[in-house]
Structure 1
Amino acid sequence: MPLTKPNQQLRRDLKQAAALLKWSGVDLMKMAIRLSEAGFEADARELLTIIGSFPDAEDKLAGYADEVKAGRIVRAK
Structure 2
Amino acid sequence: MADITYLPSQIGPLYLSLVTDAYSRKIVSHHVHDSLHAESVARAYGQALWNRTARALPWCITPTEASSTARSCTNACTCSTGQPAR
- TM over 0.5, shorter chain: no
**What is the TM-score of this pair, normalised by structure 2?**
0.30
Of Structure 1 and Structure 2, the greater helix share is in 1
The answer to which structure, 1 or 2, has the higher relative contact order (CA under 8 A, 6+ apart) is: 1
TM-score normalised by length of structure 1: 0.32
